[in-house]
Amino acid sequence: MANRLLLAALAIGILAGPAVAAPARADAAAPAPRRVAVSLIGEGASIEPGTPFWVGLRQQIARGWHTYWINPGDSGEAPTIDWSLPPGFTAEPIVWPRPQRLRVGPAMSYGYTGEVVLLTRLVPPADVRPGRPVTLRAHVSWLVCEKTCIPEEADVALTLPVATGRPAPAPNAAAIEGARRAVPAPSGRYSRSWRKRSSLACAGRGSESISSKSSVPPSACRINPR
CA distance 96 to 179: 8
**What is the pLDDT averaged over residues 140-155?**
96
Which range is least confidently modeled, 181-185, 198-202, 206-210? 206-210
- Rounded to 5°, the CA angle 96-184-84 comes to 20
| Residue 50 in this model has a pLDDT that exceeds 50 | yes
Single out the residue of 176, 112, 120 nearest to residue 142, CA to CA. Answer: 112
- Domain 2-185 classification at class level: mainly beta
- Residue pair 23/149 in contact by the 8 Å Cβ criterion: yes
Single out the residue of 69, 14, 18, 46 nearest to residue 173, CA to CA. Answer: 46
This prediction has a pTM of 0.76
- Rounded to 5°, the CA angle 37-41-42 comes to 170
What pLDDT, on a 0 to 100 scale, did the predictor assign at position 105? 79
Span 76-128, pLDDT tens digits: 999 999 999 999 999 999 999 999 999 877 889 999 999 999 999 999 999 99
What pLDDT, on a 0 to 100 scale, did the predictor assign at position 30? 55
Domain residue spans of the chain: 2-185, 188-226
What pLDDT, on a 0 to 100 scale, did the predictor assign at position 107? 84
Coil, strand or helix at 53? strand
- Residue pair 140/41 in contact by the 8 Å Cβ criterion: no
